Structures are given as structure tokens and as C-alpha cells.
């Protein structure tokens, strides 16, 4: 009745909603819609399309469950004592539930402790999930949510942030289903069905289990009721939560009051998983409340670094399965690391053409992208600032580049002191084939690399006008806008991704130095960029010589660019040697070997690619 007194709009669902409540049991939802919780969730507009499978009300367990049938049966008998399941003969189950009876296929994951996590396939054959429609959009905290909590706290000048992460023991088993729907949640422990229905034992779940959508919908409702309207920031996934409080009062009262509230309603916490402090891992992301940063942990970052090292040792010949595993984890990390997302494009493009079980050499662009990502992580860029840089309203500089035979000239001027070129800082830098041979082609021609030169001019401008200066160890927040008369550079600054060589390498060098900064490069018609064009043509009449920024090619940090160019050269030499020696791709591993080669993401050595 407390929620009723607090005017909670969904209080009836807890006990008084006939035929669908948390006291007598919630419906599974096959052929029925779940009621909306409009004050908690947004409406769901799209529903998942499940893979087609032939309907069969009684399915056979997967091989993983057949191999652990004894452990699964022991676990089911232990859960029977807790009231989670009950056994029936197949004949009796058919009599009680008729066409509502479903015997789902079980799968099993063996944990490090030797225990078995049982998976209930509610999609294939029995088609339970296929028939459930949840009208609410069930949303979970992402890396952006974690960052927003920290940013809001910082804006409110909250200096002390303490967080606690918790896990609810067997949370998926804590939501009671209504008795008339027990038949939908049937399974068997034996590897195969028995010959006699009167002796074949099946197990019926009274509560939710791993995989059915009803479990998730049932759990999030009361969770939202418990946290709504409170001052302590709470974030919940389906079965674990994070509580963050600020200030001395919040630290000593806010979090503990919430823990007491959860305990008061009987929440069975998994106490050995309780953790907290000013930094911790939560749902795979690392939160640093002391530095107001979010990302991935150092150990997860090390896994990526080791994977790339292993690929390099194997001359960049990798198995499809290993690459897909690597890319999946990298995509997860990219949810928090915004700088990483644009550079996933060539990796996904390569993954899309790989056949299952294939072993192949990575293309040059993919290799160089991996080297770049590795360098970024080794440098410590596995966390980013939670502060959102404001989009600049005015351009900070304008640049141009001139490409000719045997020469590339970069020029630019700063608008930091106003629009008067006579008072502005400016630079003009000429490059020759001996300085940057990768900018020139046959007969020392450079026009084919005009876009590369334009981006290089932007990089030199950032150096000359002080935007690359270090700001200490904290993740930097920088926002700057520049003007250029090359439309391709405008597009590149938005996507941050390209597969053109050597433009891709210059782009990586730029973002390697800028890290989490935001740089917008706006296109200007050539006639509106005449002053920058004059600088590339040696016409300095509009500028003051005293305001010229002295710069040489040696002053520009192109360490990563040179390293990647060297890596490409060594790779090409290694490929030539391998072809001459008659080396070929590695033999495919067996399925068992693949399973044994897979390693945990958290800690340990990376699996061989």
C-alpha cells in the first residue's frame, strides 16, 4: 500500500491486478500483450524478428545440455526445494496443459567453478518468444548513461561521488508466473525423450528462467517502482544495478537508504559481488568518478593489445572466428570510446566477406587500423572524459594546400585575434619528396593527394596555433572549428573514417593527437578562402611577418604516421618472402580446438587470432 499512498501509477500490478500480478503470478504473455507502464517506459515501436524455425512443442536438448545432464538434473532438484520448479510425467503434463505445453530445448554453459548455467531456448521450436509482444521499450543504461550521471554531478558541483554496484542472486528466478501458464515453461533434464510418456519426467518452471521475454518484463516493473522519485541516482540492467550518490550526506545516507529499501522488500543480493568506491566496473564499462571519465578497464584494454600483437606474430593471418570475436568486443568498447567508432568501418567491411571457418590474411587497411587502435590503447586512451564539449560558433582558423610537381605547400591563418589578417598568426610550410615521399607519386607528382595535403594543413594549423598542447593527465575536452575549401575534408571531419591511402594514415595521426576532442572542418568556397590560398602561393602581403609562426616538418609530430608507414613496408616485404617460401594460410582448427582457444576478455592472455 506504500506505493498507492505515494500515488505510484502502477501500484495495482503488484497485488491487485486480477490474473496478472506479482503475488499470484504474472502472465507469460503468449498471444497476450503486456500492459503498458506509461510513466516508466517509452512505447516500443519495433519488435525483433526471430529466425524461422519449424514449430515443435517438444524439443530435444542441445549437445551442451546433453553432456551435462546429470548436473542439470541435480540443479533442478535443488530448485524444486526452493519452489522454482516441479516435476511431472509427460503424460500428466499433457493432460493438465494440453496445447499450452511446451518442452523447450536446454543449453548449458559451464562456469569456472564447475557449476552449470542452464539456458532455456524459448525461441526455436517452441516459439514462445515469437508469440510475446511487450509494448514497453525496455531500456538499459549504456556508456552514455554512465557518462551523463557523471556530467550532471559535475555540473551540480558535486565533488564527492561514491558508487556501489550490486547483483541480485538468481534474479531471473524471482518473478512468479501465473499457474495457468506453467505449461509454457517446460523442459527435461534427460538428453533425449523417454519411450513411455508415463515414465518420462519433465520439469515445469513456476518462475522466470533464462531467455523468455516475460522474465525481463516482469523484473523491470517493480525495479522501476522502487527507484522512481528518489534522490540517489540508480541505473539498472535486467538483473544488476548501480547506485551513485554525491556529497557527504548522500554517501552516508543515500546509498545505504536504498540498500535498506531493497532489502526491506526481500531482494536477495549476491553479497560476494557487491563492490564500490570512486571507480568500478559496471556492465562491462569502467567508471572513474575521481577523474569524471568512462571507458573500459585496463585489463580489457590489454586484451585488445595482446590480440593485435598475436596477429602481428602470425603475419596477420587470422581465423574468421577469432576476428569476429575480437570485433564484437571492440564494438562493445566503442559504446564508451567515441574515438574508436569511425575506425571500425574497415573492420566490419572485412568481417562481412569472411566465410565461416575461413582463415585468411588481413588486408593492409585492416592491419594499419589495428595498429592505430593498439597505439591508442597503449597510450592509455581506454577512458574518455564525461564532459560534453560545446560546439564552436566561429571558425578558429582557415587553411589551404597547394600540390604541384615536386612540391606541396601548406598554409593557414588564425582567427583567434579577429578577422584582420594583419594581426593574425599564420604559417606557410613547403614539403618536398625527400621530406614526405608518401605524398608524391610517379615523377614526383602530388596532385592526386590534394585531399591528403588539405588534411595535413589542418594538422599543422592545430600544431601552430596551440590546439595540440598538452593539458595534463586528465582526458582532454577540446572543441575547435576550422575552414577549408576542400569539400572532402568537410565530409571527413564528420565521418572521421576513410579507407583511402595515405589519407587514412594522416587521419589516424590527427585523431591520435586530438584523442577525445571535437573538430569541425567547414567547407568554404574557394573565393572565400583567398587569404589561405595566398599563403600557399607565397603571397604574404596581407599578413605581418612578425606574426608568422616558424615551423618546420621536423616540428610536426608524425610518429604514428611514420610507424604505420614502416609497418606497411615491413608487411609487404614479409609477404614477398612468404610467397617465395611457399607459405600458405594456416589449417582450420577443429570445433573443440576453437572452444579451447577462446579466452576470457577480463584478464589472462588473448586468444590466438
Over its C-alpha atoms, the chain yields an Rg (Å, rounded) of 30
Select, from the ranges 254-268, 333-347, 462-476, 580-594, the one with the highest average predicted confidence (pLDDT): 333-347
> Are 402 and 503 part of one and the same domain?
yes
Cα atoms in the Cβ-side hemisphere of radius 13 Å centred on 453? 27
Task: Read off the pLDDT of residues 45-79 as tens digits, 9 standing for 90 and up.
Answer: 887 787 778 899 999 999 999 999 999 999 999 99
The number of folded domains in the chain is: 3
Query: pLDDT, tens digit, for every residue of 498-512?
Result: 667 777 778 788 777
Question: In this structure, is residue 473 part of a structural domain?
Answer: yes
275 domain residue, yes or no:
no
Are residues 514 and 368 both part of a single domain?
no
Share of the chain above pLDDT 90, in %: 27
Average pLDDT (23-27) is 85
Is residue 185 classed as helix, strand or coil in its secondary structure? helix
Please tell me the predicted confidence (pLDDT) of residue 191. Answer: 67
| Residues 449-475: tens digit of each pLDDT | 888 898 899 899 988 988 877 554 444
Region for 510 from its dihedrals, namely left if φ exceeds 0, alpha if ψ lies in -120 to 50, beta otherwise: alpha
Whether residue 97 is found in the same domain as residue 202: yes
Residue 46 lies in a domain: yes
Angle at which helix 559-581 crosses helix 364-378, to 10 degrees, equals 130
Task: Identify which of 559, 2, 577 has the alpha carbon closest to the alpha carbon of residue 265.
Answer: 2
Q: Which residue has the higher pLDDT, 404 or 524?
A: 404
pTM here is 0.65
d(CA 68, CA 65): 5
* Least confident among 92-101, 291-300, 372-381, 566-575: 566-575
Q: The domain that contains 58 carries what CATH number?
A: 3.10.10.10
Do 202 and 92 have their domain in common?
yes
Is 520 a residue whose pLDDT tops 70? no
What does the pLDDT read at residue 301? 93
For the residues of 237-264, what is the DSSP string, one character each?
A: -SSEEEEEEEHHHIIIIIHHHHHHHHHH
Cα–Cα dist 53/506, whole Å: 49
pLDDT digits (tens, 9 = 90+) for 106-128: 999 888 777 888 889 988 999 98
Q: Within this chain, do residues 515 and 590 fall inside the same structural domain, yes or no?
A: no
Are residues 119 and 53 both part of a single domain? yes
Q: Are 172 and 239 in contact (CB under 8 A)?
A: yes
Mean pLDDT of the chain: 78
Q: What is the mean pLDDT of residues 174-191?
A: 89
Identify the domain containing residue 533 by its residue range: 397-563
Per-residue burial over 360-390, b if 16 or more Cβ lie within 10 Å, else e, is: bbbebbbbbbbbbbbbbbeeebbbbbbbeee
Highest mean pLDDT among 29-33, 201-205, 341-345: 201-205
Return d(Cα 414, Cα 425) in angstroms, integer: 5
pLDDT number for residue 224? 41
Judgement on whether residues 477 and 359 belong to the same structural domain of the protein = no
Is 543 in the same domain as 476? yes
546 band by pLDDT with thresholds 50, 70 and 90: very high
Amino acid at each position: 500500500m506504500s506505493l498507492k499512498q505515494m500515488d505510484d501509477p502502477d501500484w495495482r500490478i503488484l497485488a491487485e491486478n486480477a490474473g496478472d500480478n506479482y503475488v499470484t503470478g504474472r502472465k507469460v504473455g503468449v498471444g497476450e500483450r503486456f500492459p503498458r507502464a506509461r510513466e516508466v517506459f517509452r512505447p516500443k515501436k519495433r519488435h525483433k524478428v526471430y529466425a524461422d524455425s519449424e514449430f515443435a512443442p517438444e524439443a530435444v536438448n542441445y549437445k551442451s545440455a546433453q553432456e551435462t545432464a546429470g548436473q542439470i538434473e541435480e540443479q533442478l532438484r535443488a530448485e524444486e526445494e526452493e519452489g522454482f520448479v516441479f516435476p511431472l510425467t509427460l503424460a500428466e503434463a499433457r493432460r493438465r496443459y494440453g496445447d499450452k505445453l511446451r518442452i523447450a530445448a536446454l543449453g548449458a554453459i559451464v562456469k569456472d567453478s564447475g557449476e552449470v548455467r542452464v539456458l532455456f531456448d524459448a525461441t526455436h521450436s517452441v516459439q514462445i518468444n515469437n508469440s510475446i509482444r511487450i509494448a514497453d521499450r525496455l531500456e538499459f543504461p549504456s556508456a552514455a548513461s554512465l557518462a551523463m550521471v557523471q556530467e550532471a554531478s559535475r555540473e551540480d558541483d558535486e565533488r564527492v561521488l561514491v558508487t556501489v554496484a550490486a547483483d541480485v542472486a538468481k534474479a531471473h528466478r524471482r518473478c512468479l508466473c501465473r499457474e495457468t501458464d506453467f505449461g509454457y515453461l517446460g523442459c527435461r533434464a534427460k538428453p533425449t525423450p523417454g519411450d513411455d510418456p508415463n515414465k518420462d519426467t519433465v520439469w515445469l518452471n513456476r518462475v522466470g528462467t533464462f531467455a523468455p521475454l516475460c522474465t525481463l518484463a516482469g523484473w523491470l516493473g517493480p525495479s522501476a517502482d522502487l527507484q522512481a522519485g528518489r534522490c540517489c541516482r540508480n541505473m539498472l540492467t535486467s538483473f544488476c544495478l548501480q547506485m551513485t550518490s554525491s556529497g557527504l550526506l548522500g554517501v552516508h545516507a543515500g546509498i545505504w537508504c536504498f540498500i535498506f529499501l531493497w532489502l526491506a522488500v526481500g531482494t536477495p543480493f549476491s553479497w560476494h559481488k557487491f563492490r564500490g568506491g570512486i571507480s568500478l566496473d559496471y556492465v562491462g564499462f569502467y567508471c572513474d568518478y575521481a577523474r569524471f571519465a568512462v571507458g573500459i578497464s585496463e585489463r580489457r584494454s590489454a586484451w585488445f593489445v595482446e590480440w593485435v600483437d598475436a596477429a602481428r606474430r602470425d603475419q596477420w593471418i587470422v581465423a574468421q572466428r577469432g576476428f569476429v570475436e575480437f570485433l564484437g568486443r571492440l564494438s562493445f568498447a566503442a559504446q564508451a570510446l567515441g574515438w574508436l567508432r569511425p575506425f571500425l568501418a574497415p573492420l566490419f567491411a572485412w568481417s562481412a566477406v569472411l566465410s565461416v571457418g575461413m582463415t585468411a590474411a588481413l588486408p593492409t587497411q585492416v592491419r594499419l587500423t589495428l595498429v592505430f587502435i593498439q597505439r591508442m590503447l597503449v597510450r592509455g586512451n581506454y577512458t574518455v572524459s564525461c564532459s560534453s564539449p560545446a560546439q564552436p560558433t566561429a571558425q578558429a582558423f582557415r587553411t589551404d594546400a597547394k600540390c604541384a610537381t615536386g612540391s606541396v605547400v601548406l598554409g593557414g591563418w588564425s582567427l583567434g585575434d579577429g578577422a584582420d589578417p594583419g594581426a593574425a598568426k599564420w604559417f606557410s610550410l613547403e614539403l618536398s619528396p625527400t621530406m614526405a615521399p608518401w605524398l608524391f607519386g610517379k615523377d614526383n607528382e602530388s596532385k592526386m593527394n590534394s585531399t591528403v595535403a588539405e588534411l595535413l594543413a589542418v594538422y599543422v594549423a592545430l600544431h601552430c596555433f596551440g590546439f595540440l598542447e598538452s593539458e595534463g593527465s586528465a582526458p582532454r575536452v577540446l572543441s575547435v572549428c576550422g575552414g577549408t575549401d576542400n569539400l572532402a575534408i568537410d565530409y571527413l571531419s564528420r565521418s572521421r573514417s576513410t579507407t583511402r591511402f595515405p589519407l587514412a594514415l594522416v587521419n589516424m595521426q590527427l585523431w591520435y593527437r586530438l584523442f577525445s576532442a571535437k573538430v569541425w572542418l567547414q567547407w568554404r568556397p574557394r573565393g572565400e578562402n583567398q587569404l589561405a590560398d595566398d599563403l600557399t602561393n607565397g603571397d604574404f602581403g596581407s599578413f605581418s611577418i612578425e606574426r608568422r609562426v616558424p615551423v618546420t616538418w621536423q616540428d610536426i609530430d608524425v610518429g604514428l604516421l611514420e610507424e604505420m608507414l614502416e609497418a606497411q613496408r615491413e608487411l609487404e616485404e614479409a609477404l614477398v618472402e612468404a610467397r617465395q617460401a611457399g607459405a600458405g594460410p594456416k589449417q582450420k582448427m577443429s570445433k573443440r580446438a576453437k572452444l579451447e582457444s577462446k579466452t576470457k576478455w577480463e584478464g589472462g592472455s588473448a586468444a590466438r587470432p
